[in-house]
Structure 1
Amino acid sequence: MYPEGGGREAHKREEIRQYHHSFLWSLVFTIPVFLTSMVFMYIPGINHALDTKVINMLTIGELIRWLLSTPVQFIIGHRFYSGSYKALRHGSPNMDVLIALGTNAAYFYSLYSVLRAAISPNFESTDFFETSSMLISFILLGKYLEVLAKGKTSEAIAKLMNLAPETAILLAFDECGNLSGESEIDSQLIQKNDVIKVIPGAKVACDGFVIWGQSHVNESMITGEARPVGKRKGDNVIGGTVNENGVLHVQATNVGSESALAQIVRLVESAQMAKAPVQKFADRISKYFVPFVIILSLSTWLVWFLAGKYDGYPKSWIPSSMDSFQLALQFGISVMVIACPCALGLATPTAVMVGTGVGASQGVLIKGGQALESAHKVNCIVFDKTGTLTTGKPIVVATRLLKNIVLREFYEYVAAAEANSEHPLAKAIVEHAKKFKEEEEYVAWAETRDFISITGQGVKAIIGNKELVVGNKSLMLDTGIQIPDQALDLLLEAEEMAQTGILVAMNREILGLIVISDPLKPAAKEVISILKSMNVRSIMVTGDNWGTAKAIAREIGIDTIVAEAKPEEKAEKVKELQMSGLTVAMVGDGINDSPALVSADVGMAIGAGTDVAIEAADIVLMKSNLEDVITAIDLSRKTFSRIRMNYIWALAYNIIGIPIAAGVLFPSTRFRLPPWVAGAAMAASSVSVVLWSLLLKNYRRPKSLDALQIRGIMIE
């Protein structure tokens, strides 16, 4: 159902298998090399056999180490040669270059040493074959553990992909629309408008809407919302969610790659692959760091070599198994290996992958590293009102007629005009008007001509021979319609009660007033309070009138408001705040919020909002809960705290490790870091960075939000 994600998962599994396979084969060859060079030499009898000369001064032990380390260097270690070639060809040397240089230095010096021993009767060789083979083995182990750990960062995608059921029950209907049979089919074969039967305990196979039955559906795997959601005829369902009790018949709307689940998978995948701007910092460091390390390691070798050649230190410092050149070579190789900046390169992408995956599991879809990085800097949030701070499900609570007209006829005209509008207030009016037509099986409204929707103000239309204008006070004034004092008083009264008054004018005379209430979301006041405690300023920008806006703001604790704002004015307010030095997030749900969502540093779309708003946003709040604004900011702050710690660890590791590898402790303590130990330490640093990022999987949202959720359940 999701070939892209499935292919990527298969690629990751194959990568893990290849590193595991390479590491095991390297062990097969490396363990005997290690034993012959560092263990058997101390065992009587075995050491004598290994020291037996084969050709001139070439011993059996050296010959065994040469033969066993060669396949490790050139066959198992081939990936480092190809990686080095590609990196150098693109002019950006990476860790493969350092590994190839370090292991080649050890291998080819050892090769020179044993070949010279084979042709010279007086030359006693000392080889570093164990250095090259053990170095490659430890790096392969580190890479294996790294890809294994990185594989776990994408568990969110794997879990999402596994939500879709393999089969579905397809219902068949006869020509009269009666149920004629059912059959089990592969869920990938479902077509748009097919009717699917969902039994209790089964997963919904596709996006659609209920045409028969009622039940509760667990949507937590998609939205993160733990409570089951009641579903009945007309309600939408999401593919991958679980039907809990009743039987549902669902008509498919979005299938395959168009489904919500497929879109979420694609969004999370693209988010995890997108680079955060902070990653550029690591890329710049790596670009210059690798050449610097090569120069540093050559300088280390040269300093120690010249010091040994010109008696810069006592001969007693040199271990009995090597000479001054070999000691210098070991220091140089150790510096080259331990300074590898791979931990630096992993610091950001691993944390971003885990952070976006955790966000998806919490119902907060973050569209990549850019959004994640911007969100942690947010110190000002601009809220839309309708559908964001309020439930977005307004209802008509009163009607005030100012002219002599039958209420049913009044709503016939108003609903005919508003039926063409997508605004939530228009839908509330149409729904209310339907109550006057309950006896009619099919509701139809009068035909309209010259319909015009004025965003943020209202609508105009001609119905029959009547010119109708429905909207707010500014629309009436712009149209040149006189508003009587009685209507102004009713408007003021509604506004003081945090309600919205919609004026209706027919033939340029005010006919009446419709009073609409859109209840506040339960947690709105607490969310604003928590944001204040997080040093985040809250502002409300709405297209609604000033009176209603002030009443709502007063109730939830917002000090700064902008009312009667058109879409372009919302975007201008966002830019104005940005110009004052604030990092601004915009939270909205409607088409009219899209310009502001795009203009903001971080656009947050309420998941139940319009497709346009969701497309324009950087973060999508799937549950449509205001609390998730806090979750998004808190998660981004926690993620970037991990990234900072990763950078500090990676840089501190190099600052401490490089001098030790270069031998600063050797004169006073005789302590040195053999290249294979440096390789193990380098691999450990990379794995530790990945594991530190993986700890983000244990993220828990702020405890203050858990208290809100408990209160919300009690209210319900």
Structure 2
Amino acid sequence: MNPTNTLAALPLAFRKLNPRQMVHSPVMFTVLIGSMVCTAVSIQQLATGSTTAVFSIIVTVWLWLTVLFGNLSEAIAEGRGKAQADSLRAARTSVMARRRTRALMPAGGSGAGRDGDAEAGHDEELVPGTDLKVGDIVICEAGDLIPGDGDVIEGLASVDESAITGESAPVIRESGGDRSSVTGGTMVLSDRIVIRITAASGKTFLDRMISLVEGATRQKTPNEIALNVLLASLTIVFVVCAMTLAPMANFANALPTPVVLVALLVCLIPTTIGALVPAIGISGMDRLIQRNVLATSGRAVETAGDITTLLLDKTGTITYGNRRAVAFLAADGVDRQLLIDSARLSSLADETPEGRSIVDLAVELAGGAGEVPGLDATATLTPEVEVIEFSAVTRMSGLNLPAGHPANPTPAVLEVRKGAASAVERYVKERGGFLPQKLQEAVLKISGTGGTPLLVSTYGGGRAQVLGVIHLADVVKPGMKERFAELRAMGIKTIMITGDNKITAAAIAAEAGVDDFVAEATPEDKLAVIKAEQEAGRLVAMTGDGTNDAPALAAADVGVAMNSGTSAAKEAANMVDLDSDPTKLIDIVGIGKQLLITRGSLTTFSVANDVAKYFAIVPALFAATFPGLGLLNIMGLASPESAILSAVIFNAVIIVLLVPLALRGVKYRAVSAAKALSRNLLIFGLGGVIAPFIGIKLIDLLVSLIPTIGN
């Protein structure tokens, strides 16, 4: 426990002595009331010169320290969260934004905008970022701070998100797809993007993070509420027991003073776990935040510890998401360079990540010179060139080059196409061509290994020809198989959800090491899988990053959205991974299990602790009247007064000693429930019984040196 953090938390611990705050913890509220009663009794004894005044004052001081130490554990946990909130608040900077105002209507039909936006036909105005509203369109270029949360609707840029994620490596944000979401306060490093604002000022993602971190103390989980009910019940039982001791002791001519009765009550009620419960819950969320995961509630953290089924979206979660060109396979009799040049030519106007990867691979194979000879993009995409954009109907894209164009060696219009194998095959057959057997086998082989085959063809009059195949690989992120093996050891079943065909899905599932997969899945299919698992009595977690994942993320017991994903996904989930690392769910599950184990372990220790204290206090109270009870004084404590005071001091000190464990958490190990229970009882059950015997005896040796108490 850092001494600096402890000192910084002390003022907050004193402020928490307010009864209106203490009443939410019945155990510590009881200790507070008892401390007040003992304070009044001590003052009265001191005023009348009672011989027990010194004893009462010392007990009272330690009772107040017990309350303070209980508040200190919660204050330290909150202080760590508030420090993180301050660092997040520092990242929230008010900036000026270039906001589009209206579409221009210039005379003569020619656009006339400002600041490089003339081509778009829009005017702009410079406004404070705090004035932006949902739906506003803003423009950001290299060096600009993004003024608010939104989705990229035009362009592509490299963005520095270190203020949010702590990761110095820039990320790519682009229009369309599942990597369009941007966060206010991050910086554009290159290029130019147009953003549609999705959150008003004060309701941004960063604002939510800050409020959740600062408001962690107000979020109690069902398990924590149930434990508080149990602790309240035990407190009521022991209050009644302490009250009944008074007439019993009076009958035996051994009436304990009010201070003794309060000390007895405080030592017997579960003060240890009562003081540490808030710190355990807050530190669970704190550990998530340290791993760059934002949880919307403590309930989500706790539920993560109990999940049994994990659904993962393939694209962008298990795989990188953007398929990449990795090879060109030419048909028999076709020059490979012709295939490469034609593939690049068909992709010059293709701004998708796949299209850009084809161009990049073609340039790389040309020796990295930058442009393939004879196919300069600026010279090729002249106004007379017809660009054929991809459509869901044709499933192809490409160019139509007019006769006489430098890249067209034929006397007719040259049609260059690339696209899905079945679409290009149909296109070629309609123009008198065919798909060679070797390429048919290549298409099946690529599909069977989880890749995506694209055929490239040309048609310049006469008969169309298939030149070859482009192999697009959906690359599985490194380390996935090992991480899924860890989940399996935890008893968690993994299911991959994808819209790919069954052959591709099976190959990716085998490579990633998931337990099962659902291919050709729609958003409705994802919901159906989640509902089926839940109806079978399982708790389900879902990770995803796309708008199509939002319904499933909302329906899952734990929904984890990638920060790189869309705003819809992040709104639907109850956790957001700022690093966009799907394997982070293993850490989330571990933290959830650690939270549950820590709470259970410290509850076991606290109850066992209280059992041991009986042997210190009860014999000390009644041994003089009932000598037979002396047999229970196995600690050999010096006197009734030293026994009671030693127990009170130990009761306070043990809270401080356990605060680091409550904040750090008990280490989770992937073992069976029976082994976990045995380990818990052996370490924390037996340890909870032994520790008071040792601690109270050592304290008694010191306390007995005080003349008025040791005799």
Both proteins in one fold, TM over 0.5 = yes
Could you tell me which of 230, 235, 251 is aligned with 1:285? 230
Equivalent residues of 2:307, 2:541 under 8 A apart: yes
- Partner in structure 2 of residue 692 of structure 1: 661
Distance 2:668 2:51 in 1: 60
Partner of 2:252: helix, strand, or coil?
Answer: helix
Equivalent residues of 2:318, 2:582 under 8 A apart: yes
Is structure 2 residue 389 aligned with structure 1 residue 389? no
RMSD: 6.0
Equivalent residues of 1:272, 1:368 under 8 A apart: no
Q: 1:293 to 1:190 in 2, by over 3 A?
A: same
- Partner in structure 1 of residue 585 of structure 2: 629
Is structure 2 residue 114 aligned with structure 1 residue 177? yes
Equivalent residues of 2:156, 2:172 under 8 A apart: yes
Is structure 2 residue 552 aligned with structure 1 residue 596? yes
Alignment of 1:288-687 (within 5 A): 288-308=233-253, 324-325=254-255, 327=256, 329-395=258-324, 439=381, 492-500=444-452, 517-580=473-536, 582-663=538-619, 667=623, 668=630, 669=637, 670-672=639-641, 680-687=649-656
Is structure 2 residue 87 aligned with structure 1 residue 142? no
Q: 1:22 to 1:558 in 2, by over 3 A?
A: closer
Unaligned runs of 5+ in 1: 1-11, 24-78, 119-123, 309-323, 402-409, 460-469, 474-483, 505-510, 703-716
Equivalent residues of 2:313, 2:496 under 8 A apart: yes
Paired positions, count: 561
Q: Which amino acid aligns with 2:584?
A: D
* Identity across the alignment (%): 24
Output the TM-score relative to the length of structure 1.
0.60
Equivalent residues of 2:35, 2:60 under 8 A apart: no
Post-superposition Cα deviations, 1:643-669, rounded to whole Å, max 9, x if no partner, equal: 223222332233323553334586334
Distance 2:141 2:521 in 1: 46
Q: 1:275 to 1:94 in 2, by over 3 A?
A: same
Give how far 1:518 is off.
Answer: 2.5
Give how far 1:539 is off.
Answer: 2.4
Partner of 1:644: helix, strand, or coil?
Answer: helix
Q: Which amino acid aligns with 1:384?
A: D
Unaligned runs of 5+ in 2: 1-5, 101-111, 117-125, 332-342, 362-375, 397-418, 423-434, 457-464, 624-629, 631-636, 671-711
Q: 1:514 to 1:573 in 2, by over 3 A?
A: farther
Is structure 2 residue 97 aligned with structure 1 residue 164? no
Q: 1:635 to 1:126 in 2, by over 3 A?
A: closer
Post-superposition Cα deviations, 1:654-697, rounded to whole Å, max 9, x if no partner, equal: 3323553334586334344577665554443444454322235x
Q: Which amino acid aligns with 1:277?
A: P
- Partner in structure 1 of residue 219 of structure 2: 274
Post-superposition Cα deviations, 1:300-320, rounded to whole Å, max 9, x if no partner, equal: 333333222xxxxxxxxxxxx
Distance 1:657 1:263 in 2: 45
Partner of 2:234: helix, strand, or coil?
Answer: helix
Equivalent residues of 1:210, 1:237 under 8 A apart: yes
Equivalent residues of 2:95, 2:147 under 8 A apart: yes
Equivalent residues of 1:107, 1:132 under 8 A apart: no
Q: 1:198 to 1:272 in 2, by over 3 A?
A: farther
Post-superposition Cα deviations, 1:511-541, rounded to whole Å, max 9, x if no partner, equal: 9999854322233333333434444332223
Q: 1:361 to 1:189 in 2, by over 3 A?
A: farther
Partner of 2:600: helix, strand, or coil?
Answer: helix
Distance 1:415 1:195 in 2: 25
Q: 1:214 to 1:428 in 2, by over 3 A?
A: closer
Equivalent residues of 2:59, 2:259 under 8 A apart: no
Post-superposition Cα deviations, 1:231-253, rounded to whole Å, max 9, x if no partner, equal: 9999976444578xx79988776
Distance 1:222 1:176 in 2: 34
Distance 2:222 2:523 in 1: 29
Is structure 2 residue 167 aligned with structure 1 residue 225? yes
- Partner in structure 2 of residue 64 of structure 1: none
Distance 1:629 1:572 in 2: 22
Distance 2:557 2:477 in 1: 25
Q: Which amino acid aligns with 2:567?
A: D
Distance 1:333 1:94 in 2: 13
Q: 1:671 to 1:424 in 2, by over 3 A?
A: farther
- Partner in structure 2 of residue 100 of structure 1: 33
- Partner in structure 1 of residue 79 of structure 2: 152
Post-superposition Cα deviations, 1:607-666, rounded to whole Å, max 9, x if no partner, equal: 222323223323322222233122222222333332223222332233323553334586
Equivalent residues of 1:156, 1:361 under 8 A apart: no
Distance 1:266 1:22 in 2: 20
Distance 1:547 1:232 in 2: 29
Q: Which amino acid aligns with 2:528?
A: E
Distance 1:429 1:166 in 2: 39
Equivalent residues of 1:331, 1:661 under 8 A apart: no
Give how far 1:18 is off.
Answer: 7.1
Alignment of 1:241-260 (within 5 A): 241=186, 256-260=201-205
Q: 1:218 to 1:18 in 2, by over 3 A?
A: closer
Partner of 1:256: helix, strand, or coil?
Answer: coil
Q: Which amino acid aligns with 2:299?
A: Q
Equivalent residues of 2:497, 2:521 under 8 A apart: yes
Distance 1:214 1:560 in 2: 35
Give how far 1:269 is off.
Answer: 4.6
Partner of 2:478: helix, strand, or coil?
Answer: coil
Equivalent residues of 2:153, 2:195 under 8 A apart: no
Q: 1:227 to 1:650 in 2, by over 3 A?
A: farther
Output the TM-score relative to the length of structure 2.
0.61
Give how far 1:334 is off.
Answer: 1.2
Equivalent residues of 1:607, 1:623 under 8 A apart: yes
Q: Which amino acid aligns with 2:72?
A: L
Give how far 1:351 is off.
Answer: 2.1
- Partner in structure 1 of residue 210 of structure 2: 265
Q: Which amino acid aligns with 1:282?
A: L
Partner of 2:617: helix, strand, or coil?
Answer: helix
- Partner in structure 1 of residue 698 of structure 2: none
Equivalent residues of 2:620, 2:643 under 8 A apart: no
